[in-house]
Structure 1
Amino acid sequence: MIDVYLLSGFLGSGKTSLLVQLIDQVNKQGRQPAVLMNEFGELNIDSQIVEEKEEVPLKELLNGCICCTGAESTEAQLQSLLTDYPNVDVLFIETTGAAHPVESLDAVYSPLFADQLDVKGIITVVDAMRWLDRDKLSQRMLALFLEQVRHAHFMLLNKADLLTADQLASVTMQVTQFNSFAPLVQTTNAKIDFSYIEKMVDAASAPKHAISTGSGLPLASKVLSFEKPINQEHFEDWVRSLPDTVYRMKGYIQLEGSRYSHLFQYAYGMVNWIPEYMQIPSKLVLIGEQLSSIEYPPEK
């Protein structure tokens, strides 16, 4: 199992500064880090910084956000990384500053390699100056900024040195009230001890399951496996009965009467079936909140 940390945060918050430091610390622990980086343009300037770190496997997603360039691109890059570098211990995924955390996790949670990844959580870098001026953002960008904070499992309140003592106290209180679950640390230049992040995230997590962020976190995942072909009508009835706290589902499912598997996707109440032309183990990944009691078939 590879420990996976998704680095989230608004544009210019300090994610790359954090990433470079975490790489160094993991190396010093004698473990092998790897990086998946994402940027909108054709040239990822941030990745050039990481490339200076020798012996650090790096894959890139360019020309779009990890959550909208297509799951196929993300899966292909991750599968390539896992195949080419079998000794990786820790994977850091740095999203673009315009990535929604739920959709970013959706891109990472592929049923194809669900048993290889242990997603520890979302580390969000909160720009303290940006928080002060958040009302200057457009409504759409403000909503994204707040969503990145709301779904964090651990938060760095970065650029703390640029605020007065009163401002820092006020921002700290507001951010912790907005996300009362995630531990928060005030930082300058995103400097923090990775072992502390590991300890705090593990302390907040329930007993681990494959590719699970743990019960009780603001955003969690769960994998369901199916030993027998599934009745499509009964399955879709079950999907419609699920609570609104299930945000995303995707997986490969063998349907009754079908020779090959189907790719199943669910988002915002809508389902989509895509026929495959091969037999793939039937697994379904759920992303959302309060998932511990969800099973298929549902208990009577």
Structure 2
Amino acid sequence: MKDVYLFSGFLGSGKTSMLTDVLRQLKEKGIKPAVIMNELGKLPFDSQAVGEDVPLKEMLEGCICCSGAEKTEAQIQTLLAGEEFDVLIIETTGAAHPVEALDAVYSPLFAEQLNIKGIVTVADSKLWLERTTLTPQVRTLFLEQIRHAHLLLANKMDLLTESEQGKVVFEMQGLNPDAFILQTTNGRVPLHLLENLQATTINKEVNQTQIGKHLHLNSRLIEFNTSFTQEAFEEWVKSLPSSVYRMKGYVPIEGVRNPFMFQYAYGLVQWLPEYIKMPAKLVMIGENIQDIHVIGEE
């Protein structure tokens, strides 16, 4: 399995500085990285931080979220099929919600090949103290990126006084008590902190997920051994708690030759017919979902 890290963070928070330094540390240890980098603009400025010897996939004018999920899946498939690497780092745009970014990585086609180590969020500490000046929508995204992190870098600490530094860490800890918070300058993070993450790993065993220390955002791979009616399946979906944010995969439907492509997001359901036989698997993403009853289980 390939270890995967999601680098999240607000625009200008220091993600690219962190990426550059992590790539250096990986290479020094003889670990071969690959990178998928998301850019909002047309020119790949950030990708200049990645060396020529690192397999790189870029998504210009894109966002690793709803509309870009299929592109991300294609990029990952291309890497898995054609490149030799040990670790995959996905740098999301500053405008990506962590849950949507995680959703884009989980394709039922290769979920068992990837070991999602966790979401590493870089937060601008100065911006945190000035967050009330942000628009409500932007502030919400900023807070969500911090709330869902498994490892949180309180960056740009050199710009703050000692009392401000303490205030930032205390308040961020209140928003996300599960994450390890590292006070940083220039996005420097020791590699061992990344390697110790074990946040959202999917096991190969049916209906099992290995949960690490962080129970607030995790994933679950479900395999179906029987088929359902669409009505029965949607009844089960309606019964799920609001802590289930995303589901996607292939659901076997009674009387239909190939499993349907199924997607669920924030209460909305989408079915799409498939013309080839896909594996009857579904990935669920949410908070504390390990004990949810799955349709078809006794």
What's the TM-score once normalised by structure 1's chain length? 0.93
For residues 279 and 132 of structure 2, the distance between their equivalents in structure 1, rounded to whole angstroms, comes to 47
For residues 286 and 49 of structure 1, the distance between their equivalents in structure 2, rounded to whole angstroms, comes to 33
Tell me the equivalent position of 2:203: 209
- Structure 1 position 229, deviation (Å): 2.3
Identity of aligned residues (%): 53
Tell me the equivalent position of 2:268: 270
Match of 1:167 among 164, 167, 185: 164
Q: 1:213 to 1:140 in 2, by over 3 A?
A: farther
Counterpart of 2:109 in 1: which secondary structure?
helix
| Structure 1 residues 69-88: aligned runs within 5 Å | 69-85=67-83, 87-88=84-85
For residues 180 and 76 of structure 2, the distance between their equivalents in structure 1, rounded to whole angstroms, comes to 29
- AA matched with 1:93: I
Structure 2 residues not aligned, in runs of 5+: none
Q: 1:8 to 1:159 in 2, by over 3 A?
A: same
Structure 1 residues not aligned, in runs of 5+: none
- Structure 1 position 299, deviation (Å): 5.4
For residues 266 and 137 of structure 1, the distance between their equivalents in structure 2, rounded to whole angstroms, comes to 30
| Structure 1 residues 213-228: aligned runs within 5 Å | 214=211, 216-228=214-226
- Structure 1 position 295, deviation (Å): 3.6
Q: 1:98 to 1:212 in 2, by over 3 A?
A: farther
For residues 105 and 91 of structure 1, the distance between their equivalents in structure 2, rounded to whole angstroms, comes to 13
> Which structure 1 residue ranges, 4+ long, deviate > 6 Å from structure 2?
none
Tell me the equivalent position of 1:291: 289
- Structure 1 position 196, deviation (Å): 2.3
| Structure 1 residues 232-247: aligned runs within 5 Å | 232-247=230-245
1:10·1:145 contact (CA, 8 Å) conserved in 2? Answer: yes
For residues 70 and 197 of structure 1, the distance between their equivalents in structure 2, rounded to whole angstroms, comes to 26
For residues 172 and 21 of structure 1, the distance between their equivalents in structure 2, rounded to whole angstroms, comes to 23
Tell me the equivalent position of 1:55: 53
2:34·2:56 contact (CA, 8 Å) conserved in 1? Answer: yes
For residues 47 and 207 of structure 1, the distance between their equivalents in structure 2, rounded to whole angstroms, comes to 28
Counterpart of 1:104 in 2: which secondary structure?
helix
Backbone CA RMSD of aligned residues:
1.7
Tell me the equivalent position of 2:150: 153
For residues 241 and 116 of structure 1, the distance between their equivalents in structure 2, rounded to whole angstroms, comes to 30
What's the TM-score once normalised by structure 2's chain length? 0.94
- Structure 1 position 206, deviation (Å): 8.5
Count of aligned pairs between the two proteins = 294
